[in-house]
Amino acid sequence: MQETTLRRVKPSTRPLKQSPEDIVHFTLKGLLPHGHMLALNMALGTLSLISHSIEGAKLLAEQQFTNSEICVLKPLLDSYPHFCPYEVLLASFNSGHVTEQAIDRCRQRLQEAQEAGDWDQEMRPVRNVLSRTRLKMQNFGIDIFSILETGYVLMLQSRRRQQREA
C-alpha cells in the first residue's frame, strides 16, 4: 500500500495588482437612483451596483461578465444616456480597444455588409453576446434596447418585466 502525503499550499499574501483604470465608475443619472453607481472591474469582469449613504458604501448586486460581454457592455455604459452606434459595438467586440480608425473600418464593413445583404451575418456575433449581456443586466434593473438602424441604448427595465422575473 502506497502512502499518500498531502502538502499544504500556503495562500498568496500578495495583493491583487490592479491599476486605477481597471475599475470604472458610472452614475448613470436617470437610470440609477441617486446615491447609486455601477463599478465595472475590467480586470475581474465584474459589474457591481453600489449605494453610498451616510452609513457608508453598500454592495447591492454584482454580476460576472465574460471578456466578450465586457467588450459590448463598456461602450454601452460609456455612451449612456445616448445610444451606442453599431460600429462602436462592433469595433469594441472585435478588438476590445476602440479607436477612431477601428470605428471607421467597422462603419465601412457594416455599410458594405448592408449593400451586400449580409448585415445580419456581420452583426450576429455581437447580437449573441448582447443577448447574454442583456440577461445579466436584468440583475440591475437595466435593459438593453435596440434602436432600428442606429445602435443600442441602456434603459430602465419595464416594471411589468421586473414583476414577471421576480
At 100-130, the pLDDT tens digits run 999 999 999 999 999 999 999 999 999 999 9
Query: Whole-model pTM?
Result: 0.82
* 7 contacts: CB under 8 Å, gap ≥ 6: none
Compute CA distances 80 → 4, 29, 83, 154, whole Å: 58, 9, 7, 7
DSSP structural state of residue 149: T
C-alpha angle 72/39/154, rounded to 5°?
45
138-155 pLDDT, tens digit each? 999 999 999 988 999 999
Q: To which residue does cell 461602450 refer?
A: 75
* 85 contacts: CB under 8 Å, gap ≥ 6: 150, 151
Q: Which of 59, 29, 35, 33 is nearest to 47 (CA)?
A: 59
Residue 55 binned pLDDT confidence (cut-offs 50, 70, 90): confident
Q: To which residue does cell 469582469 refer?
A: 45
Q: What is the mean pLDDT of residues 126-139?
A: 97
Longest dimension (CA), the chain: 73
**Which fold does the domain 21-165 belong to in CATH?**
Arc Repressor Mutant, subunit A (1.10.10)
H-helix or E-strand spanning residue 38: strand 36-41
* 73 contacts: CB under 8 Å, gap ≥ 6: 40, 47, 65, 133, 137
Asked if residue 74 has pLDDT above 70, the reply is yes
Give residue 45's pLDDT: 95
